[in-house]
Structure 1
Amino acid sequence: MAALASLEASVRILEKKNFNLNVSMARRKKGLDKFMEYPLASLSQWYCLAPENRYPIQLLDCVTAAIYFMKTAEDYGMDPAHVVIGGDSAGGNLAATACQALAHRRDISKLRAQGLIYPGLQGLDLNLPSYQQNQSVPFLFQETVAMLGLRGFGYSMSFKDCLLEGPHVPMDMKLKYRKWIHADNIPKEFKVRGHTPKSPSSFSLESYGITRTLLSPAFSPLTADEGTICLLPKPCIITCEYDVFRDDGLLYKKRLEDNGIKVTWYHIENGSTEVYGFFGYRLFSFPSGEKVLNHTIHFIKDL
């Protein structure tokens, strides 16, 4: 790929005995000094951004970076058999899809684990309980999810209501994925804040034709086939109660467990979207952000 030629310019391999997400973040996130005592390193990938670059170029960038690093890890004194891929929110989506894209490869070592921090994992149903309950909770609204999805693919914002109401999903696809993506699979305790099932909407061939890429495993890893799910590395999933993506994480947890994969799961009961991203930003830094960081640290330590 074209990205491979310039990859070394777009990644940073930090000192072997330091674990910083990247140089600038290490300076503002005081909590990251907890990592310093562990012999770990990190790699950050600056992937191309939308809307100038349409999805899935972002996924291709991340997969290319992972492959390059795993093939050259020993050059940096790293063990390619102990690589963890992770991300939060949209980065959690990229981490999950990248792990799936790498699952069948035989030219690199198997990933050691994946860390998914309140990840968005599907574009089929934006009316799951968490999407309704947290539709107006900062910093990520239900409508914003639809708009960002359309923006990432370069689609017209006129299809926003289609994503929110569901006419972009064919009935046979709804039936096929119902066992994986449906409010019935969400535990009752996560519905106490309310949920109103949406009446089935009339299928729109035009909407499906435009937005169908949103339904593929490359963007909706919850729709991946069983053969891929079974090959995935050890997962850690962190969900937040006041987050539209909460149920995506819960449903992915169930899918993995149904396939015999042991999941490390942490639920931040008072957490909301981007609490980790804002951790260390004074006024916008919340205790729940530190909880996310601590859970991530413990997961990596215990591998």
Structure 2
Amino acid sequence: MMCFSGITDIPCRYIAQETDSVVMTVAFRLAPEHPFPIPVMDCCTAIMHFLKNAEEYGVDPHRIVLHGQSSGGTFAAAVSEYLAGRKDLPKLGGQVLIYPGLQAVDLNLPSYQQNHSVPFLFKKHALMLATLLLTGKEINVEGVMKNAHLPEHVWMKYRKWVNPDDIPERFKGRGYVPMDRPPFHQELYEIIKEATNPMFSPLLAEDDVIRQLPKTFLLTCEYDIFRDDGLLFKKRLEDNGVPVTWYHIKDGFHANLFGLGRWPLEYPGTKLHCQHIYNFINSI
């Protein structure tokens, strides 16, 4: 088991205990001093080393699972794609993606509209953090929030994978208004054009990469801006024949599992939700 950001000491201990796993976490370098792609590549370097030397840690190299919450889920997905098809390394046993952000194309999907002001992850704050990781500096994200950051040809290129029409109607019940895109902001695009790099937006990887990904556990929460990123990634995995175990917390929100083992921060049902993760890991 390799864990990326969003996973702290106590959840790692629970994973180790409940799955009888060796758990390793990655201390990657942080933005803004070390912006994208440095943190993700640090994770790639760590997992490649671990895959090559797993037996020295008493680990079956064919049963290694990547795990991450929030941005850690993004990193885990990106690393899985980076390793897809590598013939010189053992194939990953699985990946566990807990409410990950997976795309920076359409920031007005239904979940982004419905949950833009839901704690603990406000839409504007999430985009400020994402652009800080991407560029290493603070920028005005108002244009990004309105989808003014991509030219028409780039928008259309990824519309086949990032499209509200592919979100099941039951997830639009709390409100969704299709929005016209504002005028394209060329200067903003030049600053954040790497936002469509699949290492930053794993949902945008090509089909030949997606179909080589390991079996996946994907957790989404109803009251989370990233919910629809997860739903669209689930569809892409299924369309490409990748086994997916999807678990949706109907009353959940971003960071729902953060309080595990931290009374009184632990929410009712947290241990039950986590048991589904443990069951998936134990199935590898």
Is this a same-fold pair by TM over 0.5?
yes
TM-score range, shorter-chain basis? over 0.9
1:186 to 2:202 alignment: no
In the other structure, the counterpart of 1:195 is 176
- CA offsets 1:146-194 (integer angstroms, 9 cap, x no match): 1011111235544301210111111112112112101111000000000
In the other structure, the counterpart of 2:94 is 113
Give the counterpart of 1:245 among 226, 239, 245. Answer: 226
1:109-258 matched pairs, under 5 angstroms: 109-154=90-135, 156-258=137-239
SS at match of 1:282: coil
In the other structure, the counterpart of 1:25 is 10
Q: Identify which range, 38-47 or 60-69, moves more after superposition.
A: 38-47
1:276 to 2:264 alignment: no
Q: Show structure 1 runs of 4+ deviating over 3 A.
A: 154-159
Q: Do the aligned partners of 2:18 and 2:278 also contact (CA within 8 Å) in 1?
A: no
| C-alpha RMSD of the superposition | 2.1
The structure, 1 or 2, with the larger RCO (C-alpha pairs under 8 Å, 6+ apart) is: 2
Q: Normalization by structure 1: what TM-score?
A: 0.87
Residue 140 of structure 1, CA deviation: 0.3
CA–CA distance in structure 2, aligned partners of residues 301 and 107 of structure 1: 26
Code of the residue aligned with 2:73 in structure 1: it is G
Code of the residue aligned with 1:79 in structure 2: it is D
Residue 68 of structure 1, CA deviation: 0.3
In the other structure, the counterpart of 1:68 is 49
Residue 281 of structure 1, CA deviation: 2.4
Q: Do the aligned partners of 2:34 and 2:136 also contact (CA within 8 Å) in 1?
A: no
1:44 to 2:25 alignment: yes
Bigger radius of gyration? 1
Structure 1 residues 95, 166: CA separation in 2 closer, same or farther (over 3 Å shift)?
same
Give the counterpart of 2:80 among 80, 99, 105. Answer: 99
Aligned residues: 281
CA–CA distance in structure 2, aligned partners of residues 92 and 292 of structure 1: 16
Structure 1 residues 288, 125: CA separation in 2 closer, same or farther (over 3 Å shift)?
farther
CA–CA distance in structure 1, aligned partners of residues 59 and 137 of structure 2: 44
Q: Do the aligned partners of 1:35 and 1:297 also contact (CA within 8 Å) in 2?
A: no
Q: Do the aligned partners of 1:240 and 1:272 also contact (CA within 8 Å) in 2?
A: yes
Structure 1 residues 195, 37: CA separation in 2 closer, same or farther (over 3 Å shift)?
closer
- CA offsets 1:20-64 (integer angstroms, 9 cap, x no match): x76x4269x7xx2x7536442111101111112111111011111
Code of the residue aligned with 2:207 in structure 1: it is E
Structure 1 residues 263, 150: CA separation in 2 closer, same or farther (over 3 Å shift)?
same
Q: Do the aligned partners of 2:19 and 2:278 also contact (CA within 8 Å) in 1?
A: no
Q: Do the aligned partners of 1:271 and 1:289 also contact (CA within 8 Å) in 2?
A: no
In the other structure, the counterpart of 1:9 is none
1:67-86 matched pairs, under 5 angstroms: 67-86=48-67
CA–CA distance in structure 1, aligned partners of residues 123 and 249 of structure 2: 20
SS at match of 1:270: strand
Q: Do the aligned partners of 2:167 and 2:231 also contact (CA within 8 Å) in 1?
A: yes
